[in-house]
Amino acid sequence: MSLEYTLRLADDALILGHRLSEWCGHGPILEQDIALTNTSLDHLGRARSLFQYAAEQFNNLPENEKKTAVTSVAIQNLVNTGNTLDEDDMAFLRDGWDFRNVLLVEQPNNDWAYTVARALYYDAFAFYFFSALQNSKETTLAAIAEKSLKEVTYHLRWSSEWVVRLGDGTEESRERMQTALNELWSFTGELFNMSDAEKEAALSGIGVDLASLQPKWMERIASVLQEATLEVPKGTWMQEGGKHGRHTEHLGYILAEMQFMQRTYPGMEW
Amino acid sequence: MTNDKLNKHEWPLWEVFIRSKAGLDHKHAGSLHAADAEMAIENARDVYTRRMEGVSIWVVESKNIHASDPGESASLYDPASDKIYRHPTFYDLPDEVKYM
């Protein structure tokens, strides 16, 4: 189960990092283009550390568990031919159903307001999450959390200030910021909805009790939105599924673009 | 697009000063565009310190910097050129004094 927990964290990092990398060369100004690329690289760096750890956990599984832990076809082909897995296999050879990221991070960039809204919701979660994960009994996860917290603290500052800037900006920026916050709101519930792997990890002191983070997250979001003169969205119906491998249609397109080279030219390097 | 319209849509220009480590002085690193001071510091962090160049950032809006007139450089700077006695090169330094 601990492998599933590691993948759960790694996939958030990989998919959000990839999403933000789509802004590279398309940012509204050079400075913000670089800002988002930096942030994207923070997420991808975290994904690498976590995938290395996940591959190690996978390789240490008993043979029979390797058949069921990750069922993607290309992964099983490696297992059946007696290969061990590495970080790249985890990122590039798993199919959509094996991905455990929350639906929020796979949502399209759409426009600047959507990108900023998604960032605020996720960064505020990540800030409290990694603060808590520093106390994990699993020393690898605790070390990754300590490093990530510094990065995420900056991400949260960046996204909070943008929400305030746009919310308390012009009539148009205010309206578009509020729309983006409303549209993405239904993806925030899943952040705190614990899967079996997450419950088990929390109980054993490896993971974080997500329910305990929700009030702090809510308070932070409310305070940023208040400063931005925006409304906290009111909807109570929440999307879910990502943590169980049931994704929105957007994930397939991300994987197609991200995995194409390794799938077509296995093991290629450049 | 007229100049007025262009300026209205462009964020102000800021000058960035970076201190590379504690104890040293801030040095001019370059300039960038930003809507406000917070954004200028964050943009400077992202543009000028991503390869560990600095531990401290100053930003100042470029319009607040007043510069000397290059046309007056003869009267401003040339008079110093024949006053070599202003350099501390006429003193014998004891060997114990290092780093001068």
Of A183, A215, A24, residue with least CA distance to A117: A183
- CATH 3.60.70.12: does it fit domain B3-66? no
pLDDT on residue B100: 64
CB-CB under 8 Å, A158 with B43: no
Segment A220-244, tens digit of pLDDT: 999 999 999 999 999 999 999 999 9
**Residues of chain B contacting A161 with CB distance shorter than 8 Å:** 38-39, 42
Kindly identify which residue of chain B lies nearest to residue A31, measuring between CA atoms: B43
The amino acid at A88: D
pLDDT at A152 over 80: yes
pLDDT on residue B88: 76
Segment A66-95, tens digit of pLDDT: 999 999 999 999 999 999 999 999 999 999
Segment A90-112, tens digit of pLDDT: 999 999 999 999 999 999 999 99
**Residue that is written with structure tokens 């994704």 in the block:** A247
What is the maximal distance between C-alpha atoms in chain A? 61
What does the alpha-carbon distance between residue B57 and residue A140 come to, in Å, rounded to a whole number?
Answer: 33
Domain range list for chain B = 3-66
The amino acid at A250: H
pTM of the model: 0.88
CB proximity list for A220: less than 8 A, separation 6 or greater: A124, A127, A128
**Could you give the C-alpha distances from A77 to A1, A73, A83, A84, A93, in angstroms and in order?**
22, 6, 9, 11, 10
Kindly report the nearest CA distance between residue A16 and chain B, in angstroms. 19
Q: Which helix (H) or strand (E) holds B28?
A: strand B27-33
**Could you give the C-alpha distances from A55 to A1, A51, A132, A149, A268, in angstroms and in order?**
14, 6, 24, 23, 19
A–B CB contacts, 8 A cutoff, strictly below: 30
Of A156, A161, A159, A154, residue with least CA distance to A124: A156
Mutation site, A29, A31, A154, interface B, largest B CB count within 10 A: A31
Residue B28's DSSP bridge partners are: B17
- How buried is residue A168: exposed, middle or buried, by Cβ count under 10 Å (0-12/13-18/19+)? middle
For chain A, give the percent of residues with pLDDT over 70: 100
Segment B8-46, tens digit of pLDDT: 578 999 999 999 988 899 999 999 999 999 999 999 999
What is the set of domains in chain A, with CATH numbers?
2-264 (1.20.1260.10)
Residues in chain A: 270
- Beta carbons of B57 and B45 less than 8 angstroms apart: yes
**Residues of chain B contacting A34 with CB distance shorter than 8 Å:** 43, 46-47, 50
pLDDT on residue B2: 44
Please give the order of strands across the beta sheet that includes B27-33: B27-33, B13-19, B56-61
Q: What are the φ/ψ torsions at residue A238 (nearest 5 degrees)?
A: -120, 140
| A165 contact B CB<8A | yes
Q: What is the mean pLDDT of chain A?
A: 96
